[in-house]
Structure 1
Amino acid sequence: MKWAIYNLTCTTKSGGMETIAWRLGRCLADQGHEVHFFGGKSQRPLPSAAQGLTVKTFDHKNRDEYPNWGSRFRKLMERFSFARNAVADLRQGDYDRILIFKPYDLAPVLWAARGSKARIGYYSGGTEFYPGFTFLGKKLDYLGAVSAFNASQIEKASGLEVRVDYPGVDTDSFRPVAPDPDMLRSFGLEESDQVLVSAVRLVPLKGIQYAMEAMAALREKWPNLKMVVAGEGPYRLDLEKKAREMGLGDRVQMAGFMDPKNLPAFYALGDIAVFPSHGEEALGLSIAEAMACELPVVASRLGGVPEVVDESTGILTRPKDVEEVTKALASLLKKPKKAREMGVKGRELVRERFNWDNFAQNIEKAMKG
């Protein structure tokens, strides 16, 4: 089968849905399919999963260049500018399957595939609905979501039937390893330190500020408690300023962008992974990656997160509730044996539920109709 994976941002940024697209393409290629990626032109290097795959890039106008009439308007116009250059190639490619990852691509892809043999699918990881989504969605051969929570959102908004297909985690890469002495030194950590780790985009919705407030409440009882956060974003300077104001400047470090291949070693520095988001989380793949490294998790009880974390693998807290986050961290710090047991069970859960080969096979079968 000849597959087209059509997603502007798969070549221009890194994120959860981009990771899913690349890993799916890799699995399909390994199963003998011919896989072509359609992405936006960018100087960004391609991920390792792209090796051996056909990658086509096209010009587009960045969303920031459009009038600020709302983020959805800007995203829609950016996608349409991409489509103007990409759909001719898509139409001429004689594809058997075309899979998209953003609802803004529905109209141009369905138009490009009209009258062809291609079966069209949309795999969702969000809720960016707009007038006409239901009408276009009815024309799809496959409509899937990253979680039962996300599927319920789509069904409520559109009345369409949605499959749940959990993506995977590479548990061969994300696995427990011994802390790297050089990485410990680079962050000024001692083996005796108790370390919180998180890998998130640095925006207010990810809630790192609440973890810092919890640390401030715990530092007297646990003087060796520290936190390292991997990721970039516009909120970084605010978080660093907040850490200094709270007297946590030497305890909290922003590690900046972390190459995905280094994340397992990064998680090995930690005793507990914290994800105190108060924004909508369709699933929480970063949480599952930390769990695959046998870390117990403290995360917010929202969105699809409870489909990743249960009471045997971590502690869920109310969003924005610093007191609950503090109690959850204290509970795990007081009982390191229990925390380690949670970590082991977390890896078992991830290996069972989030498997890339199973994911690719499920998508392949669903797209057959």
Structure 2
Amino acid sequence: MRILICATSSMPDAIGGSDRVVWQLSRGLAVRGHDVQLVIRRLAPDLPATSIIDGVTIHRYADPWHTFATLYMPSVACAVRALRAAAHDRTPHVVHAHHGISGLAAARAAIGPPMYTFYGPWHQEFLHEVQHRTEMPSLKRWTRRLWAPAKATLARRIERAAVRHARRVVVLSRYSQSQLADVHAVSGARVSIVPGGVDLQQFVPRLERREARSRLGLAGEGPLLFTVRRLVPRMGLEPLLHALVRLPDARLVIGGSGWLRPRLEASASALGVASRVRFAGRIDDAELPVFYQAADLVVLPSVALEGFGLITLEALACGTPVVATANSGATDVVGPLEPSWIAPDASPAALATTIAGALSASCAPEVNKRCRLHAEQYSWERMVARHEDLYRELVSARV
């Protein structure tokens, strides 16, 4: 099949969770013999307009409007032109969009049956960050809150148009499925759940915990907790620091970057846990398995809007237990493995209680093997094969 995938961004140019899903899907389809084109926004001027990586033809288009506060529609027009240019010589059998702007562009380009992956309500994620970000001059904060509702309304309308024009909508979890129904009133047979995946060759339990800690300079007493997140409020890192107060023997490593880091560092000091917290910054993919294997427990303390959480699968594939909160897509993965590892909410008390229980269980010798076996159900290859089936259904329905 000729498959045209479009997104705001993707690996190898960007490193977010949805970027990883887009790229693993694209390259996996190419491996299976499909003609795959990927249309994404050019994130840096030194990136080539066109390149071929792992069998995927990548088209990068310029969007001079993306930095403007509320001018989403010119960005949609840029994406439409890029999609039509990519399809000029070879009309695709399927156009699969990820992210709102690409989704509306795919509908307007009218170059093939559109399919859309919904990761979470775009406008709610934007508003959550605006409402909680105070580390900026008061005038800028005031003006941002003034235009933020208009920007959020437009984002919601764009995303709603994208999902309603799509002939098939994919979500990664039941949590995202419920968000899709609540926010955009889209449900039923048109919606398919296709979980994210994990590279089972990269994330492998090769190291003893002591060796992994030695490599990272994390030798020491007490259980080690690890999380890797974008450092923004909805990821739940502030409640996790408060939970650490209730776990006096535990240490915590926080990977990732974001504007919240200075506030988190100040909170750790104010709570008296700074000596037990290490901010590791952005962690290279090659080092991530070592961090997972060094930890007794990986924690996803999500407060809101966590559609899946790929680190759940990465940690489990390395044999490390995971604690997640009930209001996230990670429950689809963690719940069937061990329901007691699901915290009822992201409050410090709930997190501390669930973490303490999971740490007790993590000492059992069979736990690491159970984690690995469970993760093996979620290979990227299986995710790609499921999408391939959906594409065939879409093409057959069109004939």
2:282 maps to what in 1?
A: 257
1:362 aligns with 2:356: no
CA distance in 1, matches of 2:291, 2:310: 16
CA distances 1:147-204 after superposition (whole Å, capped 9, x unpaired)? 1222233234334431111221112211212158897457542164421001111111
CA distance in 1, matches of 2:89, 2:106: 12
2:359 maps to what in 1?
A: 333
2:68 maps to what in 1?
A: 66
Which stretch has the larger CA shift, 191-200 or 85-94?
Answer: 85-94
> 2:101–2:158: 8 Å Cα contact kept in structure 1?
no
1:276 to 301, 323, 334: 301
> 1:218–1:330: 8 Å Cα contact kept in structure 2?
yes
Between the two proteins, the alignment pairs up a number of residues equal to 351
1:208 aligns with 2:213: no
1:53 to 44, 53, 56: 56
Q: CA deviation at 1:336?
A: 4.1
CA distance in 1, matches of 2:319, 2:74: 40
Q: CA RMSD in A?
A: 2.8
Which stretch has the larger CA shift, 90-99 or 12-21?
Answer: 90-99
Judged with a 3 Å threshold, the aligned counterparts in structure 2 of structure 1 residues 323 and 136 are, in CA distance, closer, same or farther, namely: closer
> 1:7–1:100: 8 Å Cα contact kept in structure 2?
yes
Judged with a 3 Å threshold, the aligned counterparts in structure 2 of structure 1 residues 176 and 136 are, in CA distance, closer, same or farther, namely: closer
Return the letter of the residue paired with 1:285: L
CA distance in 1, matches of 2:268, 2:194: 39
1:315 to 321, 341, 354: 341
Q: Give the 5 Å matches for 1:207-226.
A: 207-219=236-248, 222=249, 225-226=250-251
1:127 maps to what in 2?
A: 121
Q: Percent identity?
A: 23
Return the letter of the residue paired with 2:355: L
Normalized per residue, which structure has more helix?
2
Q: CA deviation at 1:344?
A: 2.8
> 1:133–1:158: 8 Å Cα contact kept in structure 2?
no
Unaligned stretches of 5+ residues in structure 2 = 123-154, 394-399
1:350 aligns with 2:375: yes
1:155 maps to what in 2?
A: 181
1:109 to 80, 103, 106: 106
CA distance in 2, matches of 1:181, 1:45: 41
1:22 maps to what in 2?
A: 23
Judged with a 3 Å threshold, the aligned counterparts in structure 2 of structure 1 residues 62 and 296 are, in CA distance, closer, same or farther, namely: farther
TM-score, normalised with respect to structure 1: 0.85
CA distances 1:70-100 after superposition (whole Å, capped 9, x unpaired)? xxx46x3474254155133134142222211
**Secondary structure of 1:39's match?**
strand
CA distance in 2, matches of 1:197, 1:136: 36
Which stretch has the larger CA shift, 196-205 or 326-335?
Answer: 326-335
